[in-house]
Amino acid sequence: MAKVIPFKAIRPENDKVHLVASRSVDGYNSAELRDKLAGNPYSFLHVINPDFEDGIKTKPGSKERLHKVKNHFKKFVREKIFLRDDSPCYYLYRQVKEGNEFIGIIACTSIDDYMSGVIKIHEQTLTTREEKLKDYLEVCEFNAEPVLFCYPNDEVIDTVSEEIAATRPDYDFTTTDKVRHTVWVISSRKTVKQIAERFTAIPNIYIADGHHRSASATLLGKLRRSTRKSYTGEEAFNYYLGVFFPETHLKIYDYNRVVKDLNGLSVGQIIQQLKSNFTIEEVNVADFKPTKTRNIHVCG
């Protein structure tokens, strides 16, 4: 069973959320980044790029840079740009992009579920990147980007989500990439309990994006457990942030890869080997993009 729990979010004030929201630093060129930082004192870019304010350059990923990130985050809290909820909540999140609507629940999940296989993965991780992200979490002590999870639709959770989405949201804004973001804070104890209980009936959840974030959170949790004589399993380091979408609220795009080496086999031999697990048929070039689940198209 999956352990998906509510938490006390640290989140922007309602009137500043559209100013706080940003893409990652890598999503801007240097000129755009300077303009964003100079023109918007509330942008989260000031937290993740803290060198702008004092002009003192630090190496990305260094402990010096990470401590500056943490201090700037604390500054946002002190200035009440960020506020913390008083009680553990779930957060219903809706994203509308290019005419598609996706609704999921922001919550925390357990590193024990990751280690036991309740959380299913579909790719391996790089140790160097795990360590880098672990260092970030260890110093900064906050999750800024949730892992994207999906789970088999649950009728009760679907119904609760639909009912909440019909009410007035706490946040509703559109970013400059033309994506609309809407958030409802789920603070009702009855509803929180109901959602938590329904997730325990779900045997597995699946990582759609965020394998390294999951692995690094687990790595840090195991490290902190090893340095303590005892722990309850309820400490914050036992959990990490995720957004959980039912499977019908995911849009899966084609995943293209180039095969450069056939490992000594001919194209005909490759096709014969594929026939042991797949039904092979030739299609027109115009139909190269898969249209159904479990379809794979190969172009020679």
What is the structure's pLDDT at 282? 82
pLDDT digits (tens, 9 = 90+) for 57-115: 999 999 999 999 999 999 999 999 999 999 999 999 999 999 999 999 999 999 999 99
- Number of other residues whose CB lies within 10 A of the CB of residue 276: 6
62 domain-assigned: yes
| Per-residue pLDDT reduced to its tens digit, 177-215 | 899 999 999 999 999 999 999 999 999 999 999 999 999
Q: With contact defined as beta carbons under 8 Å apart, do 113 and 207 qualify?
A: no
Which pLDDT score is estimated for 221?
A: 97
For 4-26, the pLDDT digits (tens) are 999 999 999 999 999 999 988 88
Token output for 279: 């039904």
Q: Which of 240, 293, 279, 292 is nearest to 113 (CA)?
A: 240
Residue with tokens 């004192």: 41
Is pTM beyond 0.85? Reply is yes
For the stretch 110-160, pLDDT in tens is: 999 999 999 999 999 999 999 999 999 999 999 999 999 999 999 999 999
Average pLDDT over residues 291-297: 80
Q: Which domain holds residue 25?
A: 4-249
pLDDT of residue 287: 65
Per residue in 223-252, is it b (16+ CB within 10 Å) or e — as a string?
eeeeeeeeeeeeeebbbbbbbbbbeebeee
Query: Read out DSSP for 15-32?
Result: GGHHHH----GGGS-HHH
Q: What is the pLDDT of residues 216-239, one digit of tens each?
A: 999 999 999 999 989 998 999 999
Domains in the chain, number: 1
- Any domain includes 123: yes
**CA-based max dimension of the chain:** 66
In a domain, 284, yes or no: no
